[in-house]
Amino acid sequence: MINFNNLELVVNEKYSFVGLERRNSQIRFCLPKGFPNKPEELQRFTFNTKRDLFFLLYKVFDQFKNICIEKGYLEENNDMTTSDRDGMVKINQGADISEDDELDENIFYSKLDMISGILKAHDEPKILSLVYRLGRSDHFDHSQIHKFLHRAVFLPNGAAYIDSMDLPRQQVRFESTDIVAMYCYILWEIKQQLQQKVGVEIKALAEQFKQHYIGGNYGLFEEEYYSQVIDSLKEALELIDHNTPFKDIDYWQFYDAIELFLYGELRQTDEGEIWGIKNFHSVWESMCLTYLAQTENLSYLLHLDNRFIPSYWVKIFNSSAKVINLSNNTFKINTSQIVPDAVFFSFILNKIEERYYEIYPYLGWSDSYFYRTNFCLINDYNLNLNKDIVKIAYIKQGEEHTFYLLKYKINETKMDKNRPEFSKKHLSKKGLVIDKCLPPYFFSFWDIDNKELDAEAIYKMYYFKHLFYLYLVNNLTSWDNLESVDIFEDSIIKRIIKVQEELKNFYRNNHLNSAMNIIEYSLWRGRSQNQINKMLNSFLKAFFDMDENYISIIDIKYYDVNYLLDSRNIEEIKNRSVRKQFVYEYLIQKEVKKLPEYWNQLKIRSSFLLPGYNQQSMIEDGQKFMDGYIHLKTVDFVKLAESYVSDNFG
């Protein structure tokens, strides 16, 4: 087994291999691009860091290999075994991604796959059958005598003599442990590093071996005890092999797996790749695109290159309705088909951030009807909003102020005496906290300044359920409604008006003095339908023209970010990557121009997803590239890898 302390870490800037290799008689651990590539930075990586990265990459490679098998790029029986001296498998299907890729085939290397040797021997029923295999025994179970009468020698007095019985016993056994228990111990240690479970019986055999040969709380993959435990295992293997008189095919299967695990590093003397994968960009693409399929709203994920995505997620992606349907011919030029990695509709309504607002009702106005919905909004996000009056109503609202209907559903607060609003006439000093959407059947309205429409204004519309926001969400994919805007034909508005008319009739029939309609007279202040629809039209145009709403062409790049930012590489990058983005944008722009009003004004942008390391969040914005034409985003490799191998992978 490899001592992680002795592993030399490298990051190949122009070489696509990731894994273990031997160079100048030294085992090197080749990390993916995006990791620190300066020797002084890599020297800070501890035993535990190297160990965790090794096992994480092992799980990533295993996941990718399973996808290749599922897709038919690799036959299942091509898995490496200890007898594969070449230890190399190539897959060509789906690997020729574009002219800027480093290789046109993915190559798995497994000349020294010590971990797989142990895992492949894991057959729990077989292990238990070896430990408790039936054999001739000198012990007798009198309750089982009737099963062995056919072996009996009958004496003259009629008594039956039986000299042995076939009873459960441990066959391959030396003193208190055996080759199977030793294997179980190594398997148990590996499974813990892979964060996988083993059966209770396997764990019991492992602990039995550990107590007898290793002792204490020493762990195989702990820096302090690693060398000591490995030496103990080598001594145990020699002792067990020397003292086991009968060695059948099952014995040698476990022995070979253990021997490879303990001595494999010493046997591998050839220079070159030992374990890992060349053309890692395919793995990186699989990781990134699978993450997009798992985490993004699939209605907004318009296109996905599915060559290295599990069929489970491809099926879910294909079954989801899209806000914009891209035809099969979108990316076809003459007879050639070009395929971007992903196309996503980036929509501000999918990026609502947490906000905290305080609202205080205006009470005591002489016009009790018009002002029963008025609130003063206080927040710290945009000072221009502080002067706004927010009008909030309830679908069944009568004469009472909305404040008295809301106060039982959300948290109350008191105004700070030092705020300038404290001196306002008719403004209550008791208010409400809005840190999530208004409760059901509450909604709001205020005049929108379309020239200043920004993210904060949209967040505010979301939290207060502005009627224009409700119309937008309700009709986002109803293109006919967007082409002919009429808020009074919207199902939500119709329902509110219907309830209000029913209340109006109720008050009239019961001789109660309460004017209605709360929307028309309190929220819209008597504006005509034509005026409201013109305001809605202007809002929709301004909304779809916001920088936060655009179609994003995502290209997965297995580059170090410094390579892209180096001015010496700019011409090479243009030829290999940027020109392709121009073509994608041109083809999508033609499709966008065919869309209905508002949609056809959407902008198109390109972004590269690059590997990163030790980031605060999964995806972070990088530096400007090509004068901001292409957005660079770095993806934390470790966080992404953990997501890729997680249980919700599919």
pLDDT one-digit tens code per residue, 139-183: 555 566 665 666 666 667 777 666 554 444 444 343 334 788 898
| 132 in Cβ contact with 171 (< 8 Å) | no
Question: Global pTM?
Answer: 0.80
> Could you tell me the pLDDT band of residue 233, with boundaries at 50, 70 and 90?
very high
Per-residue confidence (pLDDT) for residue 631, from 0 to 100: 93
Region 241-253: mean pLDDT is 82
91 phi/psi in degrees, rounded to 5: -130, 130
pLDDT one-digit tens code per residue, 208-229: 888 888 877 788 899 888 889 9
pLDDT one-digit tens code per residue, 255-268: 888 998 888 765 55
- What residues contact 343, with CB distance under 8 A and at least 6 apart? 301, 302, 303, 326, 551, 552, 553, 554, 588
Of the listed ranges 69-78, 120-129, 274-283, 418-427, the one predicted with least confidence: 120-129
Of the listed ranges 195-209, 242-256, 441-455, 582-596, the one predicted with least confidence: 242-256
Share of residues in the chain with pLDDT > 90 (%)? 36
CA angle (324 as vertex; 321, 328 as ends), nearest 5: 90
| 111 in Cβ contact with 87 (< 8 Å) | yes
Q: For tokens 């040797």, what's the residue?
A: 117
Distance CA 62, CA 309 (A): 14
Sort strands 26-31 and 18-23 into parallel, antiparallel or unpaired.
antiparallel
The helix (run of H) or strand (run of E) holding residue 265 is: helix 249-267
Sort strands 8-11 and 26-31 into parallel, antiparallel or unpaired.
parallel
Per-residue confidence (pLDDT) for residue 64, from 0 to 100: 93
Of the listed ranges 229-238, 601-610, 619-628, the one predicted with least confidence: 619-628
| 551 in Cβ contact with 603 (< 8 Å) | yes
Beta bridge partner(s), residue 452: none
DSSP letter string, 180-227: HHHHHHHHHHHHHHTT----HHHHHHHHHHIIIII-TT--TT-TTTHH
Distances (CA, A) of 338 to 95, 98, 284, 333, 372: 14, 9, 20, 8, 59
Rg (CA), the chain: 35
| 484 in Cβ contact with 504 (< 8 Å) | no
Per-residue confidence (pLDDT) for residue 516, from 0 to 100: 59
> Could you tell me the pLDDT band of residue 383, with boundaries at 50, 70 and 90?
very low
| 514 in Cβ contact with 500 (< 8 Å) | no
The interaxial angle of helices 467-474 and 529-544, nearest 10 deg, is 70
pLDDT one-digit tens code per residue, 53-101: 999 999 999 999 999 999 888 776 554 333 333 455 555 444 333 334 4
Q: At 114, list the tokens.
A: 């010590």
Q: Is the pLDDT of residue 368 over 80?
A: no
